Amino acid sequence: MRVLGVDPGLRNLGWGIIDVNGSRLSHVANGVCHSSGTDMGKRLMSLHQQLTDVIVQYQPTTAAVEQTFVNKDGAGTLKLGQARGIAVLVPAQAGLDVGEYYPNAVKKAVVGVGHADKRQVEHMVKLQLPGVKIAGADAADALAIAICHAHHAQSAGHLANAVKKAIA
């Protein structure tokens, strides 16, 4: 399984790709899409094109995106929601199933605690993907999202196998 993790952002949209073989995780690539353009439409289009290029180049088989939480700045939350729409739409257009995870669930899956800070997340990503060169904090978060999705997919697979055995 090849997992694309996406950390949505309007200025910087982080992405990370890992391969999953049983319980073994390996780094494929990571980076940050930077929006460009003078208006919202052009900025969203630039993110759409860059993320599409990532999918075409690396051919993931599934994707995961971080859920957005509402904060005090309503306008900022709406803008982030639009970037998140791109982060969900592009993999869906490529025919990928898209998992969605709250930030605390990602941190708990990667670090072991739901309120870890960004340094702790990046440190644990580096431990789980030895030798990885991370393109920035947004890319580290995206790799963490991919790792979280891999763990959840493995758990779902184990549960499905147990149910099949119980029925048989």
- Coarse DSSP helix, strand, coil percentages of the chain, rounded to the nearest 5 percent: 55, 20, 25
Catalytic (active site) residue 97:
no
Catalytic residue among 66, 97, 122, 141, which?
66
CA-based nearest residue to 146, from 33, 35, 55, 30: 30
CA-based nearest residue to 6, from 113, 80, 117: 80
Catalytic residue among 7, 53, 97, 122, which?
7
Catalytic residue among 53, 117, 122, 138, which?
138
Catalytic (active site) residue 138:
yes
CA-based nearest residue to 22, from 159, 151, 160: 151
Catalytic (active site) residue 141:
no
Cα–Cα distance, 102 to 145 (Å, whole number): 9
Residues 6+ apart with CB under 8 A from 50: 13, 33, 34
Could you give the residue numbers annotated as active site? 7, 66, 138
